[in-house]
Amino acid sequence: MMLSELKGVEPLQGAKVLYLDDSSQFQLKFLTNLTLATRRRIERIYYHGESVEEIVCSIRERMKRCPSPHLLIVDGRLDMLPSLEPAPRGIDGYDVVRGLAPDLLERGIVSIGFSTTFDRREPFLRAGADGFVRKTIPAESAVEAMASKYRRALARIRCGRDREFSPQD
């Protein structure tokens, strides 16, 4: 796959992405395409059985790095270790987004929930996510959907900032 073969991913080009997921078969092709779309500006966060609070603290630390990320992608259910063994405990990705919501809003970081099951869409949106994408096959479709959600969220953020800083008559 080449970048030119991905459609509608221009908004992701140059975006710094944090991606929190546990191990899945879907990842390799999706990560390859997302890496192409962002021009290698993706940082993977591996789930090692941490609590929601521990993951939130870890992501906050990563968000302080320079350059700050533009996009956070969080899997719907985290319950596997990188070794493909079950984690001692599992957590829901939307709880991570809920814990980070004030930080994401303050920094203008877009968050997108990502899951194989569509029933996680509403919990992600209620938690403060800017969008939800279902893990689909082919992986190219998921990356294209990410780009579309990211573009819409950026437009909303920019519009809000324009209203906040527009001159008063």
Residue 40's SS3 state is coil
Distance CA 169, CA 6 (A): 45
Residue 67's SS3 state is coil
pLDDT in tens, 113-162: 999 889 999 999 999 999 999 987 677 788 899 999 999 998 888 776 55
pLDDT in tens, 142-156: 889 999 999 999 888
Q: Half-sphere exposure of residue 60, counting CA atoms within 13 Å on the CB side? A: 14
Q: Would you give the DSSP letter of residue 167?
A: P
Distance CA 98, CA 126 (A): 8
pLDDT in tens, 11-67: 898 899 999 988 665 577 888 888 888 988 888 888 999 999 999 999 998 888 767
pTM, to two decimals? 0.87
What domains, with CATH codes, occur in the chain? Answer: 13-165 (3.40.50.2300)
- Are 96 and 129 a contacting pair, CB within 8 Å? no
Average pLDDT, the chain: 86
**CA angle 90–136–126, rounded 5-degree value:** 55
Distance CA 150, CA 94 (A): 17
Distance CA 157, CA 149 (A): 12
Distance CA 99, CA 94 (A): 9
**CA angle 18–21–25, rounded 5-degree value:** 125
